[in-house]
Amino acid sequence: MFYNSEDIEKNTIIDVAQKMCVAARTAPKGKGIDNILTTILTDAEKDELADHMERIGKDKGIDFFIRDAQNVRHAAALVLIGSELNTRGIEYCGFCGFENCKEKNEKKGRCAFDITDLGIAVGSAVSIAADNRVDNRVMFSVGKVALEVNTMGNNAGIIYGIPLTTKGKSIFFDRK
């Protein structure tokens, strides 16, 4: 059997993307509550999200959304890692900026545990990409648009996007 480099790289990226999702799932979580969500986009679905990013960038005059959309378009796959936004029910915490979970819920705040857990999950995921020498970059812009177009469903409250590529030079550096 003959395997060309293009096929090898595409298959590896999908394998790494899947492992990144597993790493996000198994990352430590506050109070052991798992609110992490993961999705992988490729091909038309990935490019459709890039199109949305570019439109928003143009409509709102946000140049880095347009730049990031190009990175997504040129990536082989896109990993989305998000979190549901829930409450842990802790009486004495206040990490979210409110006195307790009841006040946070009344004022529609975000639990610090959900956001911290998401950060740990993203860190675990990108370490898998780095260990496998797959170029990646964590992007707020991708997550913001994925959230707006409901890519991960109604349960997602915050999302980050991680495009993946194996080019001769990382497309995520020397960006204009």
Helical axes 140-148 vs 43-60, angle rounded to 10°: 100
| Tens of pLDDT, residues 140-149 | 999 999 999 9
pLDDT digits (tens, 9 = 90+) for 115-132: 999 999 999 999 999 999
Residue 122's nearest CA partner among 48, 23, 43 is: 23
| pLDDT at site 169 | 82
| Model pLDDT, residue 91 | 83
Residue-wise pLDDT for 64-91, tens only, equals: 999 999 999 999 999 999 999 988 888 8
Q: Enter the tokens of residue 139.
A: 């992007």
Give residue 168's pLDDT.
Answer: 83
Percent of the chain with pLDDT over 90: 81
Residue 40, classed as helix, strand or coil, is strand
Higher pLDDT, 92 or 140: 140
pLDDT exceeds 80 at position 62: yes
Asked if 175 and 71 touch (Cβ cutoff 8 Å), the reply is yes
Torsion sign over Cα 89, 90, 96, 101: positive
Closest alpha carbon to 142 in 90, 79, 96, 93: 79
Contacts of 94 (CB under 8 A, 6+ apart): 100
Per-residue confidence band for 114, with pLDDT thresholds at 50, 70 and 90: very high
Tell me, yes or no, if the pTM score tops 0.85.
Answer: yes
User: Coil, strand or helix: which one is 153?
Assistant: coil
Task: State how far the alpha carbon of 152 is from the alpha carbons of 110, 137, 149, 161, in Å.
Answer: 18, 19, 9, 11
Query: Is 171's pLDDT higher than 90?
Result: no
